[in-house]
A and B are shown apart, each in its own frame.
Chain A
Amino acid sequence: MEQFKELNRRDFVRTIFMGSVASLVPWRFAGQSKKDNARKDEVNVQYRTLGRTGLKVSVVGFGAMRTSDPNVIHHALNKGVNYIDTARSYMDGNNEIIVGNVLKTRRKETYIATKLRPSSEDEMMTSVATSLKCLQTDVIDVILLHSLVSRAGVFNEEAMNALDKMRKKGMVRFVGFSTHKNQVECLEASIEAKFYDVILVSYNFKSDPAIGEAITKVAQAGIGVVGMKTQAGGYTDPGLEGWSPHQAALRWVLQNPGMATTIPSMVTIAQVDENVKVMGKRFGAHDQEILERYGELYDRVLCRTCGTCEKQCQFGVPIQDINRSLMYAEGYRDYDLALRTYRELFTEAPLQACLQCENCTVTCKYGLDIPARLARAREIFGTVMA
Chain B
Amino acid sequence: MKYRCLIPFLLIELFALSCTKKDEITTRQTGFLPVMSGWQRSEAPKIYTHDNLFDYIDGNCELYFSYGFESLVSATYQSENNPNQTVTLDIYDMGTPLGAFGVYSSQAHPDYSFKPIGCEAIVSAQQIRFWQDRFEVEINSGDSIADAEKLLSEIAQRVSEKLPACQPLAAMNWLPQQQQVPHTLKYVAEGFLGQDYLPGGLEATYQINGLEVRGFVAKCENADRAEFCLRKYTDAQRGFEGAEVRDKGSYFESFHEYTGHVWAGCEGPWFFGATSAASAEDCRKIAEAIGRNLQMIKTVE
Contact = CB atoms under 8 A, between A and B. Distances in A.
23 contacts: A66-B62, A66-B191, A68-B186, A68-B191, A69-B194, A71-B258, A89-B60, A90-B60, A94-B107, A94-B109, A102-B258, A147-B58, A305-B52, A310-B18, A316-B11, A316-B15, A321-B18, A324-B49, A328-B50, A337-B95, A346-B17, A352-B7, A352-B14
A327 B50 CA distance: 10
A373 interface: no
A90 B107 CA distance: 8
A75 B258 CA distance: 9
A220 interface: no
Contacts of B51: 305, 324
B72 interface: no
A358 to B, nearest CB: 14
Task: Choose among B68, B239, B241, B257 the residue with the greatest number of A CB atoms under 10 Å from its CB.
Answer: B239
Interface stretch (A50-58, A247-255, A263-271, A376-384): A263-271
A102 B257 CA distance: 11
B66 interface: yes
Contact of A69 (B59, B193, B241): B193
Contact of A65 (B21, B62, B107): B62
Which 10 pairs show the lowest CB-CB distances between chains A and B?
Answer: A267-B191, A92-B107, A318-B18, A316-B15, A69-B194, A72-B194, A268-B196, A74-B258, A270-B196, A268-B191
B39 interface: no
Contact of A268 (B59, B62, B194): B194
Contact of B58 (A93, A94, A180, A265): A180
Contacts of A228: 59
Contacts of A340: 70, 95
B90 to A, nearest CB: 14
A168 B191 CA distance: 39
A66 B18 contact: no
Interface string B246-274: 00000000000111000000000000000
Interface of A: 6, 65-69, 71-72, 74-75, 78, 89-94, 97, 102, 105-106, 147, 180, 228-229, 265, 267-271, 305, 310, 315-318, 321, 324, 327-328, 332, 334, 336-337, 340-341, 344-346, 352-353, 356
B128 to A, nearest CB: 12
Contacts of A346: 14, 17
B23 interface: no
A67 B257 CA distance: 20
Given A94-B109, A265-B62, A316-B15, A6 B10 contact: no
Interface string B160-186: 000000000000000000000000001
Given A94-B107, A345-B21, A269 B194 contact: yes
B106 A318 contact: no
B221 interface: yes
A96 to B, nearest CB: 10
B11 A315 contact: yes
Contacts of A147: 58
A371 B196 CA distance: 35
B254 to A, nearest CB: 12
Nearest to B50: A324
B193 A71 contact: yes
Contacts of B10: 352-353
A211 B156 CA distance: 43
A229 B54 CA distance: 12
A91 B7 contact: no
Contact of B191 (A69, A74, A345, A352): A69
Given A105-B258, A337-B95, A344-B21, A269 B106 contact: no
A386 to B, nearest CB: 16
Contact of A345 (B17, B62, B186, B195): B17
A94 B106 contact: yes
B59 A271 contact: no
Contacts of A91: 63, 106-107
B109 A93 contact: yes
A68 B188 contact: yes
Given A68-B188, A68-B191, A269 B239 contact: yes
Contacts of B194: 67-69, 71-72, 75, 267-269
Contacts of A321: 18, 21
Task: Choose among B52, B60, B65 the residue with the greatest number of A CB atoms under 10 Å from its CB.
Answer: B60
Interface in B129-183: 129
Contact of B240 (A78, A94, A265): A78
B245 interface: no
Contacts of B49: 324
Contacts of A332: 65
A68 B58 contact: no
A228 B60 CA distance: 13
B1 interface: no
A323 B49 CA distance: 14
Contacts of B120: none
Contact of A97 (B59, B109, B188): B109
B87 to A, nearest CB: 18
Contacts of B95: 337, 340
Contacts of B19: 316
A81 to B, nearest CB: 14
